[in-house]
Structures are given as structure tokens and as C-alpha cells.
Amino acid sequence: MRRVVLATHNEHKVDELTSILADVVAELDLEIVSMAAFPQIGEVPETEVTFEGNARLKAEAVAVVTGLPALADDSGLSVEVLGGSPGVFSARWSGLHGGEVLPRGEKDRRNLQLLLDQLADVPDEHRAAAFRCAAVSALPDGRSAAVEGRVDGVLLQAPVGEGGFGYDPIFVPEGHSRTMAELSQDEKNAISHRGRAFRALAPHLRDLLG
């Protein structure tokens, strides 16, 4: 069995990706593992200004340090009326708050509230947005592949739903009447930008690792 390192410490993301890439994992006899087993990697600063740039930084760094194939992604929300923002700054849209370390839930709440405040006078017909995700695979020899997945939708004027995280409670995907926060995990995985990105990456993985 060949190990592939996903650039995350979140084991839930490992399980999710193993499910998304189930066919490739079985076909190539792969085991997707997190960075937890490789403390020498450390944190990879996301200093690029595009989703692909940040995902590529992480994947290539992990591949070089571990000597193993690596996967990484970067994602966020792009709001049409804001020219594509928050974009790569989605997770820190409300700022760094003087360096204080905030729990994930509180950070999400502040980011979402700031975005709602910024869009307070924007009518429904101009609240188009998209969740975007870039996924990158990289090998220690320098070969790599990058793809993007996206799901279009509109933003509500107030949060609805208890599931998901981030901007999920105000995002209604195209073709749906419920927010991302109201969808089940299976429903969300079927249409999510992350799911679409990694499914698009699957044939590239076959080419790189087959």
C-alpha cells in the first residue's frame, strides 16, 4: 500500500477525501494519511494570493519533506458584488484581532457577521456568490497537477441552519432551496466545491501515481 499525505492535521478531512477518492484509492492501493505522522513538516504559511497558489505551496512542501506524494487544497467564498472577495482571505476576513487566538466557531461567527454587514444594503438579485476550491497533487520529483471545483449560489441576509461551518449558513447552492448548513453531510459532499475539485483531480492522480 502506497501512502499519500494530505496537507492537514484534521483526520475528518482524511476520511472525507478517502471517501471522495474511493475508486482511485482502491485502484492504486493508496492510503491517505494526515500530517500528524510528520511533525517535521511544521506549518506551511499560505502567502500566495490565489487558491491554487496556496494549495501548491502546501502540497509541494509536504512532498519534499516527506518524500511521499502529497495532496493539498485551499478554498473560500467569492462574492460577485465584492469583486471576488473574501476569496483567499475568507478564513480571516474579520482580521487577526491583535494576534489573539480565537476558537474556530468564534472566528467563523465574526467573519460571517462582517460579510453580512458589508452586504446589508445589497438586494437579493445582486447577492451571487460561489464557493471555490483549488486542489493540487505533488510528487517529490517536482511533478504536479492542479484543478479547481466550484459551486455557485446566492447569499441570504441572515444565517439559516446549524450544520457546516464558515459561511455555510448564508449560502444557498444553485438549484437548492436550503443553505449549505441545512444539508446533510452526504448531500453537501455530493455538490461541494471541495468534492468537485478532488473528483476532478482523480484522473491526474492516476497519471502521476499509476
pLDDT tens readout for residues 121-169: 999 999 999 999 999 999 999 999 999 999 999 999 999 999 888 999 9
Least confident span in 35-49, 76-90, 193-207: 35-49
Domains of the chain in sequence order = 2-209 (3.90.950.10)
Return phi, psi of residue 34, to 5°: -90, 180
Rounded alpha-carbon distances, angstroms, from residue 58 to 71, 96, 164: 8, 21, 24
- Give Cα 189 to chain centroid, integer Å: 12
Reported pTM: 0.91
Report the chain's mean pLDDT, rounded to a whole number. Answer: 93
Least confident span in 8-12, 94-98, 163-167: 94-98
User: Position of cell 446549524?
Assistant: 162
Quote the CA–CA distance of 65 and 57 in Å, as a whole number.
Answer: 12
Contact 2, 209 (CB under 8 A): yes
pLDDT tens digit sequence for 194-208: 999 999 999 999 999
Those residues with Cβ within 8 angstroms of residue 36's Cβ, 6 or more apart along the chain or in another chain:
9, 11
Active-site residue identified among 74, 124, 141, 207:
74
Indicate if 23 belongs to the active site.
Answer: no
Return phi, psi of residue 135, to 5°: -120, 135
Going by pLDDT thresholds of 50, 70 and 90, the confidence category of residue 35 is very high
> SS3 for 198?
helix
Among candidates 174, 145, 15, 172, which has minimal Cα distance to 73?
Answer: 145
Those residues with Cβ within 8 angstroms of residue 155's Cβ, 6 or more apart along the chain or in another chain:
79, 115, 119, 127, 128, 129, 167, 170, 171, 172
